[in-house]
Structure 1
Amino acid sequence: MSQTFPYIAGMTWGWTGIRGTWTNDRADESLQLMNDSLAINWTAITFAALQEHPQATVIRYKEEPTVTDDEIRYAIINAKQLGLKVCLKPVVNCSNGTWRAHINFFDLDVPCEPKWSDWFTSYREFMVHYAMLAQEMNCEMLCIGCEMVQTDRREQQWREIIHAVREVYDGLITYNCDKYQENQVKWWDAVDIISSSGYYPVDQWERQLDRIEAVVEQFNKPFFFMEAGCPSREGSQFLPNDWGLQGKVSELAQQQFYEAMFTSSAKREWVRGFMLWDWPAQLYHINEASSNNDYCLYGKSAATTVRNYYVEQTRDNYE
């Protein structure tokens, strides 16, 4: 397993990438505060493009509400001026609210029905467009997909996507598989670094890391968590992926999650970092931190936990 990959002390910025929200003073301040608060060395510039529903075959990435290419360029330039490495992360969402993991079609193409072949044609155009932008802007990494569980089995088509991306982009390529799915992806050999969403309950980290370690050993690739985080509300430390979970505001719950995740991960040299979830472009005021129950760490106790951990992990790993 690769243990020499420089440590990724990262935070996701900008989700969901609403047009008009990335090129103003508030967005500039948000990026600066993220950098100052967390001792990060990477950020994932992250945004969504929409298809109408899980069986739609057209991804409308040039249309509102998706941020424009110029807005993406602006954010990348600002991040790099802060000394951060950048992972560009274009994501597909469904405009009807269905989670992207449920994008799915018949395994065999059937006339008059929506087809995998049509969807992947649109997805390839979408991803190659942003791969070219990542190349233009010297992004160090490109994430070619996020939590697209039903697509994971389409091995040959994902390999074709990766080949098309490599034709125009020479940086690192990763795919962000969903939680619990690390051992379901059969094409990890085609990417440069394996990544997944680390939304594991506080009492499951050791068991889940044992399972993931077998995948990392099999493919002998670097690994990091492309997403990981927890809302600051009661109960979320036990169900961190449920952003709609009802509960009172609790900074303690969020902090307990991070402490458990970091304690377990620190024992595994093959865990080469995190791109934590998430930090919005339009950040709440510091006085609102105590009443905010979302994933963002700004002004919350877990921010100190993250900062201290990142400082320790990157002490000898800066390039």
Structure 2
Amino acid sequence: MKIKLLIFFVLILSETSFSQKNKINGISFVGGRNVVTEASIKPVINVNANWVCLMPFGFMQSLNATQISFNRDRQWWGERKVGVRNTSALFHNAGVKVMVKPQIWISRGAFTGHIGMKTEDEWKLFESVYEQFILEYAVLAQEIKAELFCIGTELNKFVTKRPQFWEKLIAKVRKVYKGKLTYAENWDTFDKVHFWKKLDYIGVDAYFPLSGAQTPGIEEMEKGWDKHKSEIAALQQKENKPVLFTEYGYRSVDFAARQPWNSDRSMNSVNLKAQENALKAIYNKFWDEDWFAGGFLWKWYDFHHKAGGTSNSRFTPQNKPAEKLIQEFYGTYQ
């Protein structure tokens, strides 16, 4: 009897642990204007991704606007409920799991982490609108059987100034959505979130600065990770939750690891090796850790045949040496 119980507990532990053979090898799949087809998702499957992140968008006019426009006919197909529903079905049919991650875009690209209202009444109005935005997509996530739902992305000022709202929002989301929950905090404020214990994953958008070199080597970037990794691991131990990189990625550009979040189009000197080295370094440092759940690569377009390429300096790895690297690496962590 004791032996049977021991075997039982070993099996339970093996099912719930985050071993290197049970990682979220994810792709952030951009919702575009085109209707997604089976042909559109085949390249994602070909790089051995076992998860995708689908991102419906809401739009704000400014950092202190109280309204969010979402699921409107004038939005791109992939950014609306119809796009999420149909794209999810295609990926699920192919055996790929789905995270739904509603995001806000502010006019002129202002940083969402600085969203803040001027008065209490404005905060309450904004909160009611944000709650509607999140709950509508939480209900959709339940309908499409999405395995993971993200309640927000890079909203630290909102999170720190309105803690009671977030506690209540999580409870409301739990009532309509029965899957796993996370929140995606920016790399420099991931330790400033008070509600990690109420979620299933600590979500980090992992654009940590690693090196100021034009083409940093793999070992150099691994050393650059040491301090950040220690801080991530300390939070993980404190909260006792697995860590998920809700976004990670690097541009194929000179100085790719100096400010990995920087999407400035004036940075356009193509450097394919910098992107490849940076990805190797993040994989080497994290994917073997039991407490690390995996991550979602930023980012991937549905029009694969004309996305990226060796003259492209943006984040996508498509049709670059990095694509082959991802295919090989994700293939070893199935």
The alignment's TM-score, normalised by the length of structure 2, stands at: 0.85
- The answer to whether the aligner puts 1:116 opposite 2:123 as a matched pair is yes
SS of structure 2 residue aligned to 1:237: coil
1:137-176 mapped onto 2 (5 Å cutoff): 137-153=144-160, 154-176=162-184
Aligned equivalent of 1:256: 277
1:132 corresponding residue in structure 2: 139
What pairs up with 1:228-247 in 2 under 5 angstroms? Answer: 228-244=248-264, 246-247=267-268
Is the CA contact 2:200–2:241 (under 8 Å) kept in the aligned structure 1? yes
Does structure 1 conserve the Cα–Cα contact (< 8 Å) formed by 2:56 and 2:81? Answer: no
Residue type at the aligned position of 2:153: C
What is the CA distance between 1:232 and its match in structure 2?
0.6
Read off the aligned partner of 1:32 and give its amino acid letter.
K
- Are positions 1:196 and 2:208 aligned together? no
Structure 1 residue 217 and structure 2 residue 229: aligned?
Answer: no
Aligned to 1:270: 291
1:178 matched residue in structure 2 = 186
The alpha-carbon deviation at position 304 of structure 1 amounts to 2.3
Amino acid aligned to 2:209: P
Deviation at 1:24, TM superposition (A): 4.8
What CA deviation, in whole Å up to 9, does each residue of 1:187-238 have, x standing for no partner? Answer: 1011111111111233321210100111111110111100000011111122
Deviation at 1:264, TM superposition (A): 1.4
Deviation at 1:105, TM superposition (A): 2.2
**Pair 1:307–1:87, CA change in 2 (3 A):** same
- Give 2:25's aligned amino acid: A
CA distance in 2 between partners of 1:313 and 1:251 (Å) = 24
Deviations 1:30-80 (A, max 9, x none): 3211221x2111000113210111101111113232533222211111111
Asked whether the equivalents of residues 189 and 219 of structure 1 are also in contact (C-alpha less than 8 Å), the reply is: yes
Deviation at 1:307, TM superposition (A): 2.2
**Deviation, structure 1 residue 305:** 2.2
Return the match for 1:102 from 104, 114, 128. 114
RMSD: 2.0
CA contact (8 A) 2:156 2:192 kept: no
CA distance in 1, matches of 2:241, 2:95: 26
Larger Rg computed on CA atoms: 2
User: 1:282: Cα distance to partner?
Assistant: 3.3
Amino acid at match of 1:271: F
Once residues 332 and 293 of structure 2 are traced to their aligned partners in structure 1, the CA distance between those partners, rounded to angstroms, is 13
Higher helix share: 2
| Residue in structure 2 matched with residue 12 of structure 1 by the alignment | 28
**1:94/1:284 Cα in 2 relative to 1: closer, same or farther (>3 Å)?**
farther
CA contact (8 A) 2:23 2:287 kept: no
For 1:231, the aligned partner's letter is: R
Q: Does 2:320 match 1:300?
A: yes
Distance verdict in 2 for CA 1:8–1:56, change over 3 Å: same
Structure 2 stretches lacking a partner, 5+ long: 1-15, 211-220
CA displacement 1:94-151 (0-9 Å, x = unmatched)? 1343121111124x61x6xxx2211111010010000010000000010110111211
Does residue 285 in structure 1 map to residue 306 in structure 2? Answer: yes
1:13 touches 1:279 (CA, 8 Å); kept in 2?
yes
Given that 2:147 and 2:180 are in contact with CA atoms closer than 8 Å, whether structure 1 keeps it comes out as yes
Tell me whether 38-47 or 3-12 shows the greater mean CA deviation. Answer: 3-12
Query: Matched residues in 1 for 2:288 and 2:133: separation?
Result: 38
- Which sections of structure 1, spanning at least 5 residues, go unmatched? 315-319
Q: How many pairs align?
A: 301
Report the 3-state secondary structure (helix = DSSP H, G, I; strand = E; otherwise coil) of the residue aligned with 1:152.
helix
SS of 1:157's equivalent in the other structure is helix
Percent identity among equivalent residues? 25
Equivalent in 40, 57, 69 of residue 30 of structure 1: 40
Offset, 1:284 = 5.0
Letter in 2 for 1:278: K
